[in-house]
Amino acid sequence: MAKNKFKSGFVAIVGRPNVGKSTLMNHIIGQKIAIMSDKPQTTRNKIHGVYTSEEMQVVFLDTPGIHKRQSKLGDYMNTTALNTLGEVEAVLFLVDTAEGLGGGDRFIIERLKGIRTPVILVLNKIDKVQPEELLPIIEEYRKLYEFAEIVPISAKLGNNVNTLLEQIGKYLPEGPQYYPEDQVTDHPEQFVCAELIREKILHLTREEVPHSIAVTIEDMRVEDNGVVYISAVIFVERDSQKGIIIGKQGSLLKEIGKLARQDIENLLGSKIFLELWVKVKKDWRNQERILRDLGFHK
């Protein structure tokens, strides 16, 4: 009997902030690539995570949230997200089942009406609802859009994630294995390192430092002794934010560096030396040139 042909393709994950997109990605990929945080919009660029099995390879794009206009960065993110959706084999539309259908979900559904790509509705966080609550919630969503599939899951616990992968497989064409099976991201390691540093800052500063920070890797090289040397700059908008990030006698910056270094060492599998700098760049979010410098271009 002929063996089934290998399938492959690209799949985008969309959903409003905090519905669990990064958690799902991490569960599937099994490695800390997509960045998690309780704060919305941690994932600013699209991150490719690659899932490979004997039958298929799925390249996931964790798209930045589609959301209302705030700044040029917001515009950029919206455009990138929408362009992505038209180019993939399927879209996973993740929602928070426990929170119910909100304005943010409706906004995304309106955008989805403009694309032809099949959309799989993924009802996440089912661990937070009673089974009998599920059907009425599904009905609410079905009234608004004709979903190709509807799959309830818990990304956190891993419930039903295999079913989701099977459903995704239905929409993939026959295709080659794009990436070696041990490769989980095609993103430059530098980007992932910068995101890990950003994640630590957001976690450690809580509400004090808003999303107006950016991290760039200025230098990354392997020293003769095998240690990877990384120099990173944290950009903030105001002097006060610089003070917060540095902390008393540099204590917070030290902590950021320590936590980021541990994650980056796990990721790269080698010892690293991490140097962090904090610089003030006023209103960087609205300066297109700086956005380009920071790598926000396509």
Do the annotations mark residue 124 as ligand-binding?
A: yes
Binding of ligand GDP at residue 22 (CB under 6 A)?
A: yes
Q: Residue 231: which residues within 8 A CB-CB, separation 6 or more?
A: 217, 218, 219, 220, 275, 277
**Nearer to ligand GDP among residue 126 and residue 230 (C-beta):** 126
Q: Residue 252: what residue type?
A: L
Q: Which residues contact 269 (CB under 8 A, 6 or more apart)?
A: none
Q: Across the beta sheet with 7-14, what order do the strands follow? A: 47-52, 56-62, 7-14, 90-96, 119-124, 149-152
CB-based contact 247:202 (threshold 8 Å)? no
Smallest distance, Å, CB 6 to ligand GDP? Answer: 29
**Of residues 34 and 209, the one with the C-beta less far from ligand GDP:** 34
Applying CB under 6 A, among 7, 44, 48, 125 the residue interacting with ligand GDP is 125
Closest CA to 240 of 208, 211, 271: 208
The answer to whether residue 37 forms part of the interface with K ion (CB under 5 A) is yes
Helix (H, G, I), strand (E, B) or coil at 220: strand
- Which segment (21-29, 148-156, 178-186, 277-285) binds Mg ion by CB under 5 A? 21-29
**Residue 16: which of 100, 123, 95, 118 has the closest Cα?**
95
Q: Which stretch binds Mg ion (CB under 5 A): 43-51, 111-119, 141-149, 163-171?
A: 43-51
**How far is it, in rounded angstroms, from Cα 214 to Cα 278?**
10
- Binding string, residues 29-48; x marks residues near ligand GDP by CB under 6 A: -------xxx----x-----
Tell me if 15 is assigned to a ligand binding site. yes
Q: Which residue has the tokens 């426990």?
A: 98
When asked if residue 160 is in the footprint of ligand GDP (CB under 6 A), the reply is no
Half-sphere exposure of 195 (CA within 13 A, CB side): 22
Return the CA Rg of the chain: 20
Name the amino acid, one letter, at 114: G
Interface with K ion (CB under 5 A), residue from 42, 80, 84, 117: 42
- Using CB under 5 A as the binding rule, whether residue 22 contacts Mg ion is answered as yes
186 binds, among K ion, Mg ion, ligand GDP, none (CB under 5 to 8 A by kind): none
Selected range binding ligand GDP among 14-22, 68-76, 232-240, 263-271, rule: CB under 6 A: 14-22
Binding region: 15-22, 62-66, 124-127
Q: Which residues bind ligand GDP (CB under 6 A)?
A: 15, 17-23, 36-38, 43, 124-125, 127-128, 154-156
Binding region for GTP: 15-22, 62-66, 124-127
